[in-house]
A and B are shown apart, each in its own frame.
Chain A
Amino acid sequence: MEKPGGGGVLSAKEAFEKLEKVGEGTYGKVYRAREKATGKIVALKKTRLHEDEEGVPPTTLREVSILRMLSRDPHVVRLMDVKQGQNKEGKTVLYLVFEYMDTDLKKFIRSFRQTGQTVPPQTIKSLMYQLCKGVAFCHGHGILHRDLKPHNLLMDPKTMMLKIADLGLARAFTVPIKKYTHEILTLWYRAPEVLLGATHYSMAVDIWSVGCIFAELVTKQALFPGDSELQQLLHIFRLLGTPNEDVWPGVSKLMNWHEYPQWNPQSLSTAVPSLDELGLDLLSQMLKYEPSKRISAKKAMEHAYFDDLDKRHL
């Protein structure tokens, strides 16, 4: 670890060679870059600090600290270093140096869809176990992700390792979502309590997203592909039944609650026909309406669905 204040410390610009810009977002740009000293490929996320009188903004300070803490887990994308530099106008710039991953789960699923093949069941099981493990680690530190989706689950296709990305500040660097795509505001993975305007989130919002990703790995199609908040809710209600006070106490008091068409719940096997019984049971526990009844990430790891998975390298 380089010590600050000494001579010979390379600035961020000098230490890295930018290879290509791979993303841009609210706060700044994302580059695939090579560290000159080691030849290692990294993801370099650059943001200008919005300084006024206060120097490093509290939000930035808090979120970088969290990323540093979470980087210990093998299933969270590792923040390797943080460097401060100056841009051409003399403004302070922050460089977040992340490990680089070749692909993400969205591209992975799309490649299977294009070839018409199904994702091998053991591959699904391994990826899901890693996802639950990474989420359990974040939740164990009292941290929610709140935007889990295939695009920010990075993968190494050679080793089939999966890592959670886009936590907090890092999320500001995602590729901007273009208008008129079907993934406007990433509604597809959003929990019903969020759609209905709950003001207090819990870890269960991430578990719902994990469940949607689970189903998508099996079918290669989004489970609930809504293109508006209302349509998103209706997609959910058509499969799981329109919720009421019996199955979800308190639901009718949520801010965005209205009268909805009344659907009866369908069996999950109609939506995910090729998933086995244990998988369907785990999925059903991830998609409980009442947030407090949803399985935790830690408990999910202990579910019998994963019993025959070789976990030694995960």
Chain B
Amino acid sequence: MDFDLENPLGNFHDLPCDAVPSLFLIESDHIPPPNYCQSLKASDFDISVRRDVVSLISQLSCTFDPVLPYLAINYLDRFLANQGILQPKPWANKLLAVSCFSLAAKMLKTEYSATDVQVLMNHGDGGAIFETQTIQRMEGIVLGALQWRMRSITPFSFIPFFVNLFRLKDPALRQVLKDRASEIILKSQREIKVLEFKPSTVAASALLYASHELFPFQYPCFLRAISDCSYINKETVVQCYNVIQDIAREEYESVLNINSTSDTPVNVLDEHFLSLESEKTNGTNVVVTQEQDFKRRKTTDYGNNRRVPFSHFHQC
């Protein structure tokens, strides 16, 4: 069988245009059940366990394709939703992290060094050394809990479909949009609030947010394209967009904080703030329900590479 696991609609033009319903139909098989998010919120301990394991997976995955940790964390959430928090022990968290990471690496055909994994997991305490058999047994438990549905339908699966709706003709612009949306999706996965939404909704919201940042004048057209898509619930996208906006804002605030220590070159901030420069249009008010923190200035010439000094930006 030939298929691109990461991007099942990768050869979009080769697939029948009505192939898309398949992904929308089955995406719910590949996310935690709806009550998982509420269950996590109800227990500070559960949230901290998830955060710990997510952190461990991120350490294991830091040198790999970002889709790998996304898939591993998806397995983690589906496993926790099915099994609950069984053993509140640090070594159990590590074993679960290693098992989810290993299964995701296998699904993506990613080679990794078991020795490196051991070294990383043993850092900080001398105790836990997992034998191969132990990991294999844990993998078996995760597989059983997930009923071997390991080809998770992630938000990445839907990005090409939505980008095609946007009718951006320049391949470079499409790639920039995809990259920014992917970055947003990866960051948002760490927040449990996003777990309430289906992958297609997360993908649509992330793309809208990225398009608002990068192509503000075309944003109303993109919004209309998403709204017209019969597979998408518009109200849910609005809710998800707001969650994503909050997460992305935290990103900018942390950048501001970094700058205050004078450790970060001003140019880094220039790049971020320049991408925010835009004029508000009526279309944006449909989903942007909160006032912008930063004053925005209109520039008349997008082809001009002039950079605006940081000192010219200030809060309203």
Contacts and interface: CB of A to CB of B under 8 A. Distances in A.
- Number of chain A interface residues as a range: 35 or more
Contacts of B9: 142
Contacts of B283: none
B16 A55 contact: no
Given A4-B144, A68-B149, A82-B148, A55 B136 contact: yes
Contact of A65 (B2, B11, B14, B107): B107
A253 interface: no
B276 interface: no
Contact of B103 (A1, A61, A142, A297): A61
A72 interface: yes
Interface string B122-159: 00000000001001100111011101111100000000
B122 to A, nearest CB: 18
B114 interface: yes
Nearest to A64: B148
A23 interface: no
Interface residues of B, number: 42
A65 B16 contact: no
A3 B146 CA distance: 10
A140 interface: yes
Interface in B169-207: none
A143 to B, nearest CB: 5
Interface stretch (B17-25, B210-218, B251-259, B293-301): B17-25
A144 B3 CA distance: 8
Among A56, A142, A146, A296, max chain B CB count under 10 A is at A142
Contacts of A143: 1-3
Contacts of A92: 136
Interface string A36-65: 000000000000000101111110011111
A61 B16 contact: no
B22 A140 contact: yes
Nearest to B153: A69
B4 interface: yes
Interface string A276-294: 0000000000000000000
A55 B102 CA distance: 10
Given A4-B144, A55-B132, A69-B26, A139 B139 contact: no
Contacts of A137: 22
B4 A142 contact: yes
Contact of A84 (B4, B132, B140, B147): B140
A5 B141 contact: yes
Contacts of A5: 83, 141, 144
A141 B106 contact: no
A56 B132 contact: no
B8 A65 contact: no
A142 B140 contact: no
Nearest to A1: B147
Nearest to A200: B2
A201 B1 contact: no
A142 B8 contact: yes
Interface of A: 1, 3-5, 51, 53-58, 61-66, 68-69, 72, 82, 84, 92, 136-137, 139-146, 167-168, 201-203, 296-299
25 contacts: A3-B83, A3-B145, A51-B136, A54-B106, A55-B102, A55-B132, A56-B136, A56-B140, A62-B150, A62-B151, A63-B1, A65-B148, A65-B150, A68-B148, A72-B26, A82-B143, A82-B147, A137-B22, A139-B15, A142-B19, A144-B2, A167-B1, A202-B14, A298-B16, A298-B19
